[in-house]
Structure 1
């Protein structure tokens, strides 16, 4: 039987946002007496804000300042965050087969306002952000919240993400996990249920489970 629900991470999974993240962080980190290589930012890219600050050695009492600086630089630079090729077609095909789609992200509500709802967010049956469930992945509660809201069982669900934290969260929620490799195929995973090299691969798996 096909999956009833496919949930997605945003950054690095649906949206090609690393370039914008890298440019923004490299612009604001000097104000916090820090710097970071591209490799280091690859590591922090999918982290929650608290884990990111710890990794970059930014004191916790500067959290509000970091968030404000990130927001200002994002608005000033107006970096593009395009969807990966094939995403819209994948979402539409899943919905055509009556498979619900949704988002579970560590982004805050304010961080998704620059995404176009007409081509992306309006397709989602549910959008779970860190404002709704303040327990970032790898905690399973954001995924569990999505399942509860949609009355879908874990075994009927698939979570697709591009980072190890996504996999750990899915496994803890007893949800199958698919590694999204179309943005970065070098991310290490433990034991994903599926490896997806193109968004269309998700369709094949979702229908043939």
Structure 2
């Protein structure tokens, strides 16, 4: 079915922030008293789901919102160290030119997201940021309502297992990118509707639907 709304994640999907995260995660671990991440832990964590990662790092559930707020503040101080993945702006512009509505749902703040996106922020019609680690499904439903789009007409695109789980909970299709935080094998194990190997593949696939709609208009 053709999609009319594409809901993007930010970190690991559009923004290349994994390196920044690894450079700062152990300082955050020390501050909030959870287990540090050793170099040998990284690949195993990339194959784990969000709940398993929280358990492995021994993060108390009640601390997660506090840690998330701290990470947003910390990230705002280092946005110059984080760039969009190559081809991101072109891909977003191609989708908008194809008459697709774009939304951003992220655990980061809207201010950080807009600063990171720069001029590319103008391609988005909807921002719903500050999502909790397990709260994206609610955000997806809210964006659908604001956009006036049925779940069957929307697809989310992210880089973590929780993005796929949230899309399923919200009743929308899900696409996974292979270049983000989670290992591609872990994402494929959850059976996403689409897996994108390259940034340009997103527009190539989704704009095929858009061109069909334009031809029918």
User: How high is the TM-score relative to the length of structure 2?
Assistant: 0.76
2:152 to 151, 155, 177: 155
Tell whether the 8 Å contact from 2:72 to 2:108 is kept in structure 1 after alignment. Answer: no
Secondary structure of 1:192's aligned partner: coil
Deviation per residue, 1:167-196 (Å, 9 max, x gap): 111122221111111335444331111111
1:136 is aligned to 134
Distance change >3 Å, CA 120–CA 24, structure 1 → 2: farther
Distance change >3 Å, CA 129–CA 38, structure 1 → 2: farther
Distance change >3 Å, CA 46–CA 7, structure 1 → 2: farther
Secondary structure of 2:81's aligned partner: coil
CA RMSD between the two structures = 3.3
1:170 is aligned to 167
Tell whether the 8 Å contact from 2:105 to 2:139 is kept in structure 1 after alignment. Answer: yes
> 1:16-27 maps to which residues of 2 (within 5 A)?
16-27=16-27
Aligned residues: 204
Deviation per residue, 1:125-173 (Å, 9 max, x gap): 1111136xx5834x52211111100101111111111111111111222
Distance change >3 Å, CA 149–CA 135, structure 1 → 2: farther
Q: Which has the higher helix share?
A: 2
> 1:105-144 maps to which residues of 2 (within 5 A)?
105-109=106-110, 111-112=112-113, 114-116=115-117, 118-130=118-130, 136-137=134-135, 140-144=137-141
Distance change >3 Å, CA 39–CA 91, structure 1 → 2: farther
- Is there any run of 5+ residues in structure 1 with no aligned partner, and where? none
Tell whether the 8 Å contact from 1:135 to 1:142 is kept in structure 2 after alignment. Answer: no
Q: Does 1:180 align with 2:181?
A: no
Q: Does 1:3 align with 2:6?
A: no
Rounded Cα–Cα distance in structure 2 between residues aligned with 1:9 and 1:2:
20
Secondary structure of 2:116's aligned partner: coil
Tell whether the 8 Å contact from 1:20 to 1:79 is kept in structure 2 after alignment. Answer: no
Rounded Cα–Cα distance in structure 1 between residues aligned with 2:47 and 2:23:
12
Tell whether the 8 Å contact from 1:9 to 1:105 is kept in structure 2 after alignment. Answer: yes
